[in-house]
A and B are shown apart, each in its own frame.
Chain A
Amino acid sequence: MKSAISQQRFNRDGEPQTYLNNGHGLRSWFLTKDHKRIAMLYLVSVAFFFAVGGIYALLIRINLLAPNGLFESDTYNRIFTTHGIIMVFFFLVPAVPAVLGNFLLPIMIGAKDLAFPKINLLSWYLYIFGAAFTVIAVIAGGVDTGWTFYTPYSSTYSNSNVLLAGVGIFIVGFSSILTGLNFIVTVHTMRAPGLTWFRLPLFVWANYATSLVIMLSTPVLAITVSLLAIERVAHVGIFDPAIGGDPVLFQHMFWFYSHPAVYIMVLPAMGVISELIANMSKKNVFGYKLVAMSSLAIGVFGFLVWGHHLFVSTQSVYLGIIFSFLSFAVAIPSAIKVFNWTATLFKGSISYDAPMLYGLGFIGLFLIGGMTGLFVAAVGLDVHLTDTYFVIAHFHYVMVGGSLMGFLGGMHLWWPKMTGRMYPEAWARAAMVIQFVGFNLTFFPQFILGYLGMPRRYATYPPEFQVLHIFSTAGATILAIGMAITICYLIWSLKKGQRATPNPWGAAGLEWMTTSPPPTENFYETPVVTWEAYDFTVVRPEDVTGMAAE
C-alpha cells in the first residue's frame, strides 16, 4: 500500500482533496451521506447539548451553595431533571459512538462508508427531532420527575411535561438503534481484505459490543416510555397501583435498558482508551484478545445486573442477592481492561501529550468510579447509600471521569485526523489538568456527603453539609473553566492550528494511513491488511513527517 502522501490528490484549486472541501454550502452538509460529515453534524449537536447540560449542572451547584437553596424546590426538581435527561440521552449515549465511532469505524476497517449511509443520516435527523421535543418540554416548563421517570409519580401525579420529554426520548432511542444497526452490519460485512476479527482495532471491538447492547436494550426503553405515555394520556395503565398495577415493574423495565445504557456510555470510551494507551506508548495492547473479549463480556453481563437499582424497592430479596452477586461479577471484565492498560504502559515509550493525559485520567477516575460501584452493589450497604450523594459521586466518576475523559481524549487524538489541524498542545495539557482538578474537587466531597446521609434531589440541606457543598461548587466552576478553555482552543485551531500530517502521532491503524483529513471515500485504493493490530513497524515515516519520499 502506498503512503498517504504519495496518494494525495488535489482539486482544481490545487487544494488537497478532502471530505471537507468536497461540496460547500448547507445543502452539502444537511443532505450528506458521508459518514465523516454526519459525524461532524453529530459533533456540533452533541457539543451543544453538552453545554446546555453543563449550564444546568452549574445551576444545581449554585443552588446548593446555601443550605436553604436559591431556587424553589419545584424549580430545582426541573433543573436536575433537565440536566439528567440532556446529559444521558443527548450527550453521553451518542457522544463517542455517533461522533468518533461514526467518523472512524469505517476508516478503521478500510471501508468507504457505513453499510447504510442514508440510515446514518436519518439517525442524525431523528436525534435532532427527538431533541426538539425535549427542548420544547424544557421551554414549556420542564419535567420534574428526575431522568428516571419513576411511576406512579410520572404517570399520574406529575403536572410537568412528561409526555413531551417521553416522546423525545422515544425518538432519540431510534436514532441510537439505527447507529448501532449500521455499526454491526458494517463490521460484519465491510472489513477490508485481510482484516480479520482479531486484527480489528480495539475501538472497533468496543463499538461493536456497544452496538449489540444498544440493539438489545433500547427497544425495551422505547416500549417502556410508550406504555408510560399511554398511561398518562389514557389515565389507566399497568403501572397504576390503583387498579393493581405494580410500579416496580416500571423500574424493572426501565433499568433493563438503563443499566446496559451505562455500558453504552462507557464501553466506547474504553475503546478510545485502548487506542490512546497503545498509540501513546507505542506498544500493542497487553492481552489484546482479552481486552476485545472483555468488551463483549461487559456487554452481555451488563444485561444481568439491572436489579441493583431496585434493592430498596419491593423487589424480592432473593433476586436482590443474585443481582448483587452478578454486579460484582461484571466488575471483572472492567478490571481486566484496567490491568491490561497498565500492563501496556509498562516499558512503553510513553509520551505525555494531551490524549495520553486524558487516558491516564480515565484510568484513575474510572478506577474510583468502578470500586465505589462495588460499595453500592452490596445489598446491605446500598440500603444506607441508595439515593444519597454517594451514588451521585459514584456514577459521575464513571460517566464524567470515564465517558467524558474518554470522549475528550479521543477528540484530541483524532482531532488532526478529523479537521486536518493540530490543537495547541500546551493549552490542551493545561486544560486537562484544570478539568482533572476541578472534577475531583466537585465529586470527591460528594462521596463524603453521601456517606454522611445527604440525599440526592433535595434543594435544601442541614447547615453542617455546607462546607462540602461549597467545595463541590468551587470544583464545578473550575471544571467549567477547563471545559471552556478546551472548546475555545479547539475552535481556534480550526483556522489557526498547524496543519496535520497524515500520522502526527506515529500511530498504528488504517485511519493513520490516509490523508488528514481523509478524502470522501476514505482511501484511494481499498487497503489490504497483512499486519496485526497495533503493529508499529508498518508506520511509514513519510506519513508522520508529511514529507513525500521522492
Chain B
Amino acid sequence: MSNKVKSDEHSSAHGHGGRHPRLVHHFDSMEQQNEAGNFGMWWFLLTEIMFFGGMFTAYTVYRHMYFDAFAAASGALDIRWGAFNTVVLITSSLTMALGVYHAQMGNNKKLTMFLLLTVLLGGVFLGVKYIEYSAKFTEHIFPAASNFQWPPYEKPVAGHAETQQLADPVFTGHVKIYFFLYFVLTGFHATHMIIGMGILLVLAWQSWKGKFSKEYHSYIELFGLYWHFVDIVWIFLFPLLYLVDRHL
C-alpha cells in the first residue's frame, strides 16, 4: 500500500480549455457528446421504421389479397380532411425546421415561438383526426363495434324509407380488415404525435427559461428529427389510406 491519492480524480484527463457545463462526465468533448446523441437518435428512428414496418407489411399483404374491399373502404374516408392534414403536418415540419434554425442562431424568443407553433399545428392535426374518427363511429364503420356495417350507415332522410343495401358478409369482413389497419396505423401515428407534443411543450418551456444557447441546443435538433419522422410516416399513410382507388 503505497501513496494514497485523493479520491477526486476528475480534472487531469480532460485536456485544456475547460469543460462546458453541459458536458457529461463520461464524454471527452462536446463534439463527442453531440455526435453520440445524434447517432443514437437516428438508431432510435430506425427502430421506429421497423415498428411501423410491421404494420406496412400487413397492409401490403391485405391490400394485395382484398384490393376491391380496400378500394371501396378507402372511398369512405374524406379526402379533403386527409389533404388538409397533410398540409398541416408539412407546415409543422417547416415550423420545426425553423425552430432548429433559430436554436442554431441562439435566438431563444423565436425558438420558443416556433416550438409553440409546432405544438399548435400538431393540435390542429389531432383535432381533424378526432372529427374523422367520430364520423367513422356514427357511420358504424369502427371495426370493434358490434353494429359494424358496410356500406356505411347513413341517417335516413325524412320521407324516405330506410332501404340500405348491405354488402355480403365476406366482403364486409375484408372491409373490417382495412379499417382495422386504418385505425391502428393512424392510431399509432397519433400516439407518436401526442408524445411529441408533450416533449415539445417541455422544450418550449425550457427554451422560454433560456436553457438553450448557440452552443447547447442538441435536444432541439434531436427532437426535430423525431418530429420530421412522424411527418414522413404520414406522407406515406396519406396515399396508402386515402387514395387507394380514387379515379373514376
Contact = CB atoms under 8 A, between A and B. Distances in A.
Interface of A: 9-12, 14, 17, 111-113, 115-117, 177, 181-182, 184-186, 188-190, 215-220, 222-224, 226-227, 230, 234-238, 242-246, 249, 252-253, 256, 521, 524-526, 548
Nearest to B5: A9
Max count, chain B CB within 10 A of own CB: residue among A217, A235, A243, A521: A243
A234 B183 CA distance: 12
A375 to B, nearest CB: 30
B40 A116 contact: yes
Contacts of B57: 249, 252-253
5 contacts: A9-B9, A17-B7, A219-B50, A234-B144, A244-B66
B4 A245 contact: no
A243 B177 contact: yes
A138 to B, nearest CB: 27
A189 B28 CA distance: 11
Given A244-B173, A244-B174, A249-B61, 9 more contacts: A111-B26, A115-B40, A185-B36, A190-B27, A215-B47, A217-B50, A220-B53, A238-B180, A245-B62
A226 B143 CA distance: 16
Contacts, number: 124
Max count, chain B CB within 10 A of own CB: residue among A220, A235, A256: A220
B144 A235 contact: yes
B13 interface: yes
B7 A237 contact: no
B176 interface: yes
Closest 4 CB pairs of A and B: A243-B173, A223-B54, A234-B144, A112-B26
A182 to B, nearest CB: 8
B195 interface: no
Interface string B44-75: 10111111111101100110011000000000
Contacts of A117: 26
Contacts of A220: 50-51, 53-54
A63 B180 CA distance: 42
A521 B26 contact: yes
B60 to A, nearest CB: 10
A189 B55 contact: no
Contacts of A215: 43, 46-47
A137 B20 CA distance: 48
A328 to B, nearest CB: 25
Nearest to A245: B177
B25 A112 contact: yes
